[in-house]
Amino acid sequence: MAVAEINLDTLKDSDVESPWVIVGRRFVRHKLALVGLTIVAIFILLAIFAGLLAPYDPLKQNLGPAWANPSAEHLLGLDALGRDVFSRLLYAARISLTVTIVVNLITEVVGTVLGAVSGYFGGWVDSLIQRIVDIILALPTLPLLLFFSAILREIEVPGLPKEWSSAFIIIVILSSLGWTGATRLVRAQVLSLREQDFAQASRALGVGNWDIIRRHMIPNSLAPIIVNATLGLGGVIVLEAALSFLGFGIQPPIPTWGNMLQGVQERLFLNPWLAFYPGLCIFLVTLSFNYIGDALRDALDPRLKH
């Protein structure tokens, strides 16, 4: 009986390529996601090099004109206290993006670990974690954030400058309530994974539960975790801006995009550009994160073969 020969030339690229190569190829087909990635990269670079790019001290008040229009000397004009708006936008990007990225990192890590433990062990462990999640989700999020922000915002963290001390408090507040979505997402993934053959084979070979969670459950749940984290970035930056705009976030004179919006309410119709600049930054970054998340969701979907 003749053995059929396999023509390697007829194999599709997806049969021999790394899964991450396939994901990368799918991702770059989303032109809007590439634009969004470029915009986010530009903002991150501006934030990192704000000290070199800012022409003026963002906290220094000018005793001369205030509410000045854009000019060659001050590209985006001056605010109510004569501070350079362009310099403040650059430093605001540093704080706003740092808060956003750190909050998402903490919430995804905590949510992933708790969700994996909840889904894998089940029983009273699952019930306890899920009841805590239910309680947090039942609470009115914004009033609770405003309450804790009002109480904790004046606390200074030893060893940190004042601006980063305020940012640290906001990170703790947002992270304490933001991990529930990731927990439920990962729990659902682990519930479908724990009874599959590879998990049962690992248990039969004597592999410990924690090793199975670390080596199999969490790595096999990475795709939805990555998508959830990317889509969550836009939500956190809007939430931080909302807290600062309402006066319960990071306080002036420390610049964030949210409190820069708050400071121009009374001059909104006379000097609208002062609200336009920070609003545009929030809009661009949030939209970019959403496009990136949409592209990653499509690229990581195992049902798509091309």
150-206 pLDDT tens trace: 787 777 777 777 767 778 888 888 888 889 989 999 999 888 888 788 888 888 888
Beta bridge partners of 78: 84
Report how far residue 244's alpha carbon sits from residue 265's, in angstroms, rounded to the nearest whole number. 13
**Residue ranges covered by each domain of the chain:** 20-60+78-299
Instruction: Give the residue from 75, 82, 88, 104 showing the smallest Cα distance to 47.
Output: 88
Query: Helix crossing, 222-245 with 85-121: angle to 10°?
Result: 140
The pLDDT, as a whole number, for residue 16 is: 57
Instruction: Yes or no: say if 85 and 76 are a contact pair by the CB < 8 Å rule.
Output: yes
- pTM, whole model, 2 decimals? 0.82
* CB half-sphere exposure, 283, CA atoms < 13 A: 7
Architecture of domain 20-60+78-299: Orthogonal Bundle (1.10)
Supply the pLDDT for residue 143.
82
Question: How many Cα atoms occupy the beta-carbon half-sphere of 289 within 13 Å?
Answer: 23
Can you list the residues of the chain whose pLDDT is less than 70?
Answer: 1-17, 63-68, 163, 263, 301-306
Residue type, position 84, single letter: D
The Cα–Cα gap between 277 and 283 comes to: 10
CA–chain centroid gap for 91, Å, is 18
Contact 225, 112 (CB under 8 A): yes
